[in-house]
Structure 1
Amino acid sequence: MTQLRGKRLPGAGRTTAAVLGLVAALGLGAIGEADAATAPGATADRFGDRPHGFASLEGGTTGGAGGKVVTVTDQASLAKYAAAAEPYIIRVQGSITAEPFGANIEVASDKTIVGVGDGGELVQGEFHLSPGTHNVIIRNLTIRDSAVEGNWDCKDTDFDGIQMDTVHHVWVDHNRFSNICDGQLDVRKDSEYVTVSYNRFENNNKTFGLGWTTNVKTQITIDHNWFANTKQRNPSVDNAAYAHLYNNYLTAQADPGDPVWTYGNWSRGKTRMVIENSYYQDVQHPYQADATAELVQRGSILKNTTGRHDEWGAAFDPREFYDYRLDPATAVPALVKRFSGPQERIGVVLRVPGDYPTVQSAVDAVPDGNTVPLTIAVAPGTYREKVFIPATKPNILLRGTGQDRSDTVIVYDTPAAYGGSTGSATVRIAANDVTARNLTFSNDFDEAAHELNGEQALAMKTTGDRIVFEDTAFLGNQDTLMTDSPKLTTVSRVYIRDSYIEGDVDFVYGRATTVIERSVIRALSRGSATNNGYITAASTWKGNPYGFLITDSKVVSDAPAGSFHLGRPWHPGGEPDAVAQVLIRNTELPAAIKAAPWTDMSGFSWKDARFTEYRNYGPGAATSPDRPQMGDIEARAHTVADYLKGTDGWAPYARH
């Protein structure tokens, strides 16, 4: 690796709005610790899936991005994937005890190793990165209990938690290290571009060391870590070119009676160290420097400290290399206590196009039988591709990262004439427990250009259960959105909220139990003065009392007055047991809606279906014999909760 040259990033040195909000809320220390952790800006970027600091430079650290995702529960699987030549994102589920005691897990390049929830553990083992290893992320794990009973100094063992020699681009984040013999984290022998953030180091003698070299090469960022009941090396930094320590919390040393070897931060050899806005409580020798080293300290708080507080030399300016957010030192104890160590909400985020070139390639990376929620974050842009989430890949959040749902569009142009109804869908979701958020799904097939009329061209088809669409848009003409189930008697549930749906013929259809809440439905004109289309075409199984519910929404249209139907009953293949159920309630209807809004389909009378309205309003709302109205008592059993709860009590609306 070549020596890093300083380069100031755009915007470096500017205080972010989040920090200003936090400072204001803190009142320069007048606020309590509990309040500090929930102050404005306190949660921002605490769980980001990309490293900051030195690990973000010179190409950055992406770990196993682009590789397959695997979940491991035993030592053999962990060792197999960690040492593999190809990239992997390895999720550690539950506790793995290494055998024999102190055994190494060799970690090769291009790996992400991340704990599932807050329960992923490596017990009595070590992650070992050999010389030449690069691009490694280790996150959200507990690494513990490799200390030998009664052997505090560990002079005769080398059982580290994580050890790396002559590596580059490594991010160690949100882990907990406890009771390890010897070093909890050793960054050794000219390792470069390392960031160590939001970890808990506890119950140890030799905690966190850097160096074992006469060369002055290492660049390391160390921030928001908690050192508690630790004796020495918190950290000790030997011959590092640049060591940036900020917003760390050091407290409760294990052996404050030792006048020499109980200490906080040490700048050794020719290290250039900068310490900013950290918090030292009950610490002996909070920060010290060799005569040959440099140490700059600013903004830290010292509470009940003794011994050395060395400051000399110019060190360096971290903002010449990267931008960063500096939290007030007064907030550090509360922030670090709350956000350091493994966190339930940290998971794997697959980025498109950063980690994977297409949405489908990211879906393909999700492991079959996926049991833990996994996010596919799609950057703003137009993705002209077809996407299929198979039934074997549940628990996915598909999320657009733009400011608006229109910023991120997945679109294709297949009509049913070329691929069948199902084959025409731009996106198909067959898996359970899939959520899509802040996205637009479109089928932009141009009927006129292909001399076709009334051609099905789906933007979205779902057959899975517990599907959620939040702040999404569905664009198309005929059959825009199909919410279905694997077979007639299987009930699948779909919840659509704060979204937009447009089309002309049967553009919300299928047999899934589907709730559309607080959304806009646009009925597009086909140029007719009398019949421009049908909003719904439900095919609810007769044994299912809940089909489609459109509630607290708004229907809009540019079609002429009295030219659009609310729906018609769809009996696929003439199936007599598909008896549509649709309730439209508390929804604004435009003048385009017909006075008799329900109509027959394929020889089946709308009067035999279960079509009702309840308390709709607007120029298209009315009461007449051709517009069945639900009574107040029955309406109490036709709420969003009733439609979605099923036998498992599913309540996606409760998250809001």
Structure 2
Amino acid sequence: MDRLRWQLVVATDGSRVYRQSGTSSDARSLAGTASWTDYSVQASVKPTAFNGSNRFVALLARAQSSTSYYYLALRSNNTVELKRLSGGSSTTLDSAATTVTVGTAYTLRIDVAGSSLKGYVNGTLLTEATDSQYASGRIGVATFNASANVDNVQVTSAAPGPDPTDPTPDPPGDPGPNVADGWASVDAWGQNGTTGGAGGPTVTVTTAAQFVAEAASTGPKIIQVSGLIALPGPMHDVSSDKTIVGLGANSGFTGGGLNIGLPIDNAVTSPPANAVHNVILRNLNFRNWADDAMNVQMFSHHIWIDHNTWTTGSDGGLDIKRGSSYVTVSYNHADGTNKNMLLGHDDGNAAQDTGRLKVSYHHNFFDETRQRNPRVRFGDQVHVYSNYYLNTGDYGVAATENSGVIVEGNYFENVDDPYHLAEADSGPGRLVARNNCLINSGTGETGGSVSNPPYPYTITTACDIKAVVTAQAGVGKVGLPGGRPARPRRPLPDPPRPP
């Protein structure tokens, strides 16, 4: 099934939205075809009024008729519910608490694949269930004693196959999750998970001037980078609540890098209220950067760095330092980088870093990277799992300055020193290694104990990780958004205006 974009009726105020203006009863509208089976449907839904308590606005999937379908409902009692309607009779399959405010737009998404149903709000998975009553059906929107505006409806197949009219095949392999996991998913410091620019407008940039302005702007925003943009060095600021995603496999930056964080202030020893937070970087190339390709600093938190590719530059590929925390680094391809990933600024920065620097590194391809994969100071419950290390020059992972690092389920190939304690003038940390696959590699050095991280995760058999990571890591292999440029699609027919 093709990806479809549905931007609907022109409202009387000139905004291109699909609108239900009355609140006296229920209303619904369907589109698509009854043969659609496994797909994702997403829309921006803004409730504008609720007539009474426990009313809702909803997104529909696998609709059989106006009285039989699955739906994800945002209710006025601050809940989201994944439900099944059968002949007009509803069954709640799963529910979760979430804030629902009149006048606020929410990105709702339902994924249906086989009997699996998942419901997302603003990019965060909140509800899931298994139900086999409906195997296929149309999409739709609905209200129950509520008014709402609906915009930007997108339908995407769950497992797209090659398009015979498109010479560029879909990339192989499962692209990994489309929501942040690991430490970036943990609720902390006033932020619930990592959603980036979800709920904000989407803009596409093609020049350095456009990108620099959009990245530093206030408010949530999804910034699509089209082509390889030459940035003046060294680094450029990214503000809170941003998703920066490359279109296709050849978009990103050369010459300059990205800074996620406030200016350095050594006197600040606890997270400030204005710390940069909730940022997603996905599907971006970084080449020939003048300082760092990516720098996360000064208590920045809830950062997801996913499916990017970087090569060589003046300094580090990815530095995370000065009290930053709740970061996930996943499915990236570091290609030949020398100072690859630093975690922790220096040995004298304990005041800012102790108890922080909580980072997950998983499913990354460390491809002939020389050192710092990562090099850790002070960070505790640093989780390095399911990565592939190939021909690492100096060392893989270094745990220093009483850091606590778990090295788990990784594949080391031709790595003389896969992991160790202490490095240069830095004192030893604590490192626990388990279930790693060591091929023509050293045995590594461990010591001390480290608590397991608080989030759920799955470990693949380590000696199978090489194939998984090489198929999935890097640009051009990510799901929604940005796996490759969207192909022109036939539009859905305009649905009837709801009553």
TM superposition score category, shorter chain reference: 0.5 to 0.7
Equivalence map 1:333-482=2 (5 Å): 333-344=466-477, 346-348=479-481, 372-373=485-486, 433-434=490-491, 460-461=495-496
Q: Spell out, residue by residue over 1:544-575, the C-alpha distance to the aligned partner (whole angstroms, 9 max, x if none).
A: xxxxxxxxxxxxxxxxxxxxxxxxxxxxxxxx
Does structure 2 conserve the Cα–Cα contact (< 8 Å) formed by 1:117 and 1:345?
A: no
CA distance in 1, matches of 2:485, 2:368: 33
Secondary structure in structure 2 of the residue aligned to 1:336: helix
How far is the alpha carbon of 1:43 from its aligned partner? 5.1
Equivalence map 1:548-563=2 (5 Å): none
Hey, what does 2:440 align to over in structure 1? 304
How far is the alpha carbon of 1:219 from its aligned partner? 0.7
How far is the alpha carbon of 1:181 from its aligned partner? 1.5
Residues 241 and 344 of structure 1: is their aligned pair in 2 closer, same or farther, counting only changes over 3 Å?
A: closer
Hey, what does 1:120 align to over in structure 2? 251
CA distance in 1, matches of 2:186, 2:213: 29
Q: Spell out, residue by residue over 1:97-134, the C-alpha distance to the aligned partner (whole angstroms, 9 max, x if none).
A: 112xx232210010000011212120111101123211
Hey, what does 1:243 align to over in structure 2? 382
1:162 aligns with 2:294: yes
Does structure 2 conserve the Cα–Cα contact (< 8 Å) formed by 1:117 and 1:346?
A: no
Matching residue within 303, 308, 315 for 1:182: 315
Residues 239 and 435 of structure 1: is their aligned pair in 2 closer, same or farther, counting only changes over 3 Å?
A: farther
Secondary structure in structure 2 of the residue aligned to 1:120: strand
How far is the alpha carbon of 1:435 from its aligned partner? 5.9
Does structure 1 conserve the Cα–Cα contact (< 8 Å) formed by 2:244 and 2:280?
A: yes
Secondary structure in structure 2 of the residue aligned to 1:343: coil
Secondary structure in structure 2 of the residue aligned to 1:189: coil
Hey, what does 1:595 align to over in structure 2? none
Equivalence map 1:299-338=2 (5 Å): 299-306=435-442, 309-318=444-453, 321-338=454-471
| Rg comparison, structure with higher value | 1
Equivalence map 1:644-655=2 (5 Å): none
Hey, what does 1:641 align to over in structure 2? none
Matching residue within 213, 218, 234 for 2:357: 218
Hey, what does 1:55 align to over in structure 2? 184
Secondary structure in structure 2 of the residue aligned to 1:118: strand
Query: For structure 2, which runs of at least 5 residues remain unmatched after alignment?
Result: 1-115, 117-171, 263-274
1:278 aligns with 2:410: yes
Does structure 1 conserve the Cα–Cα contact (< 8 Å) formed by 2:225 and 2:251?
A: yes
- Residue identity opposite 1:55 in structure 2: A
Q: Spell out, residue by residue over 1:507-531, the C-alpha distance to the aligned partner (whole angstroms, 9 max, x if none).
A: xxxxxxxxxxxxxxxxxxxxxxxxx
CA distance in 1, matches of 2:335, 2:315: 13
CA distance in 2, matches of 1:141, 1:279: 25
How far is the alpha carbon of 1:333 from its aligned partner? 0.9
How far is the alpha carbon of 1:373 from its aligned partner? 3.4
Query: For structure 1, which runs of at least 5 residues remain unmatched after alignment?
Result: 1-17, 19-41, 148-158, 257-261, 350-370, 375-394, 396-431, 437-458, 463-474, 477-656
1:267 aligns with 2:406: no
Does structure 1 conserve the Cα–Cα contact (< 8 Å) formed by 2:184 and 2:302?
A: yes
CA distance in 1, matches of 2:280, 2:381: 21
CA distance in 2, matches of 1:435, 1:195: 37
- Residue identity opposite 1:229 in structure 2: E
How far is the alpha carbon of 1:292 from its aligned partner? 4.1
Does structure 2 conserve the Cα–Cα contact (< 8 Å) formed by 1:116 and 1:347?
A: no
What is the TM-score when the length of structure 1 is the normalising length? 0.44
How far is the alpha carbon of 1:57 from its aligned partner? 0.7
Does structure 2 conserve the Cα–Cα contact (< 8 Å) formed by 1:203 and 1:229?
A: yes
CA distance in 1, matches of 2:460, 2:249: 25
1:140 aligns with 2:283: yes
Q: Spell out, residue by residue over 1:290-329, the C-alpha distance to the aligned partner (whole angstroms, 9 max, x if none).
A: 36421111110111123x61112121112xx111121111
Q: Spell out, residue by residue over 1:116-158, the C-alpha distance to the aligned partner (whole angstroms, 9 max, x if none).
A: 12121201111011232111000001111226xxxxxxxxxxx
- Residue identity opposite 2:337 in structure 1: N
Hey, what does 1:650 align to over in structure 2? none
Secondary structure in structure 1 of the residue aligned to 2:447: coil
Larger relative contact order (C-alpha < 8 A, sep ≥ 6)?
A: 2
CA distance in 2, matches of 1:187, 1:205: 16
Q: Spell out, residue by residue over 1:464-502, the C-alpha distance to the aligned partner (whole angstroms, 9 max, x if none).
A: xxxxxxxxxxx99xxxxxxxxxxxxxxxxxxxxxxxxxx
How far is the alpha carbon of 1:348 from its aligned partner? 2.5
Q: Spell out, residue by residue over 1:401-427, the C-alpha distance to the aligned partner (whole angstroms, 9 max, x if none).
A: xxxxxxxxxxxxxxxxxxxxxxxxxxx
Does structure 2 conserve the Cα–Cα contact (< 8 Å) formed by 1:347 and 1:373?
A: no
Does structure 2 conserve the Cα–Cα contact (< 8 Å) formed by 1:98 and 1:123?
A: yes
CA distance in 2, matches of 1:305, 1:283: 5
Residues 272 and 85 of structure 1: is their aligned pair in 2 closer, same or farther, counting only changes over 3 Å?
A: same
Hey, what does 2:105 align to over in structure 1? none
CA distance in 2, matches of 1:195, 1:301: 22
Does structure 1 conserve the Cα–Cα contact (< 8 Å) formed by 2:235 and 2:292?
A: no
1:231 aligns with 2:370: yes
Q: What do you get for the CA RMSD once the two structures are aligned? A: 2.5
CA distance in 2, matches of 1:344, 1:209: 25
Residues 71 and 299 of structure 1: is their aligned pair in 2 closer, same or farther, counting only changes over 3 Å?
A: same
How many residue pairs get matched? 301
- Residue identity opposite 1:373 in structure 2: A
Residues 116 and 435 of structure 1: is their aligned pair in 2 closer, same or farther, counting only changes over 3 Å?
A: farther
Residues 303 and 344 of structure 1: is their aligned pair in 2 closer, same or farther, counting only changes over 3 Å?
A: closer
- Structure 1 or 2: larger helix share? 1
Residues 177 and 461 of structure 1: is their aligned pair in 2 closer, same or farther, counting only changes over 3 Å?
A: same
Hey, what does 2:430 align to over in structure 1? 294
How far is the alpha carbon of 1:372 from its aligned partner? 4.5
Residues 273 and 251 of structure 1: is their aligned pair in 2 closer, same or farther, counting only changes over 3 Å?
A: same
Does structure 2 conserve the Cα–Cα contact (< 8 Å) formed by 1:123 and 1:143?
A: yes
1:106 aligns with 2:249: no
CA distance in 2, matches of 1:317, 1:61: 21
CA distance in 1, matches of 2:410, 2:220: 36
Residues 277 and 345 of structure 1: is their aligned pair in 2 closer, same or farther, counting only changes over 3 Å?
A: closer
CA distance in 2, matches of 1:292, 1:267: 6
Secondary structure in structure 2 of the residue aligned to 1:302: strand
1:64 aligns with 2:197: yes
CA distance in 1, matches of 2:204, 2:480: 12
CA distance in 2, matches of 1:345, 1:202: 18
CA distance in 2, matches of 1:141, 1:221: 19
Secondary structure in structure 2 of the residue aligned to 1:81: helix
CA distance in 1, matches of 2:207, 2:234: 14
CA distance in 2, matches of 1:434, 1:60: 34
- Residue identity opposite 1:122 in structure 2: F
How far is the alpha carbon of 1:346 from its aligned partner? 3.0
